Amino acid sequence: MLPKPAAMIGADLSAAPSGCGPLIPPLSETLRPLRQQVFERVRAAGLIARVQVAKDLAVSPASVTTTTSELIEAGLIQEVSMPRDPETGRGRPAVQLGVRPDAHRVAGMKLSDREHTAVIVDFAGRLIASETVPRRPGSMDLATLLDASEHLLSRVCARAGLPRAALSAVGLGVPGFVDKAEGMVLWSPVLSDRQTPLGAAAAHRFGLPVHIDNDANLVTLAELWFGAGRTLSDFAVVTIEHGVGMGFVLNHRIYRGAQGLGMELGHTKVQLDGALCRCGQRGCLEAYIADYALAREATTALNWTHKESQSVGVLLESLYDHAKAGNTAARSIFRRAGRYLAVGLANVVNLFDPELIILSGERMRYDYLYAADTLAEMEALMLNTGRPAPKIEIHAWGDLLWAHGAAALALSAVTDGLLVPAREMAAQ
């Protein structure tokens, strides 16, 4: 059965009525400091009673009372009085715990080939302001990228009515190969130079702590903190836009690999000496299903050389219209891309056995990429174990979701800095 695109997530992200962050099952995080466990339980629940925190974490009520008192004194959580029983009108109002929203605020920004997006959220994960700035395609040097980033940050701060100094941290995402721990961009299509120390340079320019990551990881963080992945221990997100990315959650945490550069699904090889990828190598999966790959095929197969001056987005819309109208060549381009996508997804299933695969990104508007025959081919390429294929959902969100993931990255860093002992931070 063809999966249906999920409803837009914007309202949920702005309100965050049920908390934010991973909903980790009880007893699975006992090695983390109790202060952090309690805080993250409160944040994930939105509002929760002390007695429920004790039950969830399997610790004594006295321990929870002591810990929550420390967190309240530190200004990180607060007590919230709930209404009396409407039927009896008797009894003292119940008191629940919630994150203090104004304790910290962070910005999340995504820099891309087409536009830059930003959000500011409070400590409870609720949206305060958002901003989108279009840009011309092409790579930039570091100074130009920093100018664009600072302009975006200033605009979203103005929308929020906050000075930049009111922020505790900034999360920043770019496409390409990113070493999160070192704050280094090894390669990105938005930067003209390799081995760029973007994290340190942006922190110096903004005067704030800056945490950077690959943009596909940010989408995955957004799903983990705000979306369909909150209750799942293991799931994958595959993004298809200007490139092809992947993020993977293992035991409620983003998996990045030994050197922080894992999960580059778009640069797994599907054809030896095949099509040229924008990373400089040949035969990458991305070179067959990303937007520039579809545009290249359309220009050749449909003899659209006269449209080479058009933007990729306009060309792809024209290709999609032709496919919907029954043009055989146009439909074959999407069908071929769908087959390569099936190969990539089958490899993800065979390697990781995720509970859910989320297909995300602007190109998910093109339903030929995930048509029934594409998913059937994926299942045919999977190991024949007699068990069902993982569930697949289509989330065709806009770029603000990526910025929310960057905000989650910053929130996580701020929380760890407040609650995790320095010796444990060094070991992570």
Q: What is the pLDDT of residue 398?
A: 67
For residue 200, pLDDT beyond 90: yes
Q: What is the pLDDT of residue 222?
A: 94
89-112 b/e (C-beta count within 10 Å ≥ 16 → b): eeeeeeebbbbbbebbbbbbbbbb
Q: Amino acid identity, residue 405?
A: G
With a CB cutoff of 8 Å and minimum separation 6, the contacts of 3 are 370, 375, 392, 393, 394
> Alpha carbon of 130 to those of 115, 152, 391: distances in Å?
13, 10, 32
For residue 85, pLDDT beyond 90: no
More confident residue, 105 or 89: 105
Q: Which two tokens stand for residue 182?
A: 């070192």
Q: What is the pLDDT of residue 87?
A: 62
Q: Amino acid identity, residue 72?
A: I
Q: Which two tokens stand for residue 189?
A: 């299509």
Taking residues 397-404, what's their average pLDDT?
81
Whole-number Å distance between alpha carbons of 82 and 65: 18
- Strands annotated E in 316-414: 356-360, 391-395
What is the CB-side half-sphere exposure of residue 19 using CA atoms within 13 A?
Answer: 21
The helix (run of H) or strand (run of E) holding residue 373 is: helix 372-381
Q: Which two tokens stand for residue 290?
A: 């990303």
Q: What is the pLDDT of residue 8?
A: 34
Pick from 80, 74, 92, 4: nearest CA to 35: 74
Pick from 413, 417, 408: nearest CA to 110: 408
Q: Domains in the chain, start-ordered, CATH in brackets?
A: 232-396 (3.30.420.40)
Q: What percent of the chain is predicted at pLDDT more than 90?
A: 65
According to DSSP, the residues that pair with 196 across neighbouring strands are 185
> What value does the mean pLDDT of the chain take?
88
Q: What is the pLDDT of residue 208?
A: 98
Confidence of residue 14 (pLDDT cuts 50, 70, 90): very low
Q: What is the pLDDT of residue 88?
A: 55
Confidence of residue 1 (pLDDT cuts 50, 70, 90): very low
Whole-number Å distance between alpha carbons of 292 and 372: 24
Taking residues 352-356, what's their average pLDDT?
95
Residue with tokens 């990045």: 256
Confidence of residue 363 (pLDDT cuts 50, 70, 90): confident
More confident residue, 251 or 364: 251
More confident residue, 227 or 428: 227
Whole-number Å distance between alpha carbons of 345 and 354: 11
> Alpha carbon of 348 to those of 89, 193, 268, 335, 339: distances in Å?
55, 31, 11, 20, 14
Taking residues 138-151, what's their average pLDDT?
94
Global confidence as pTM: 0.87
Confidence of residue 24 (pLDDT cuts 50, 70, 90): confident
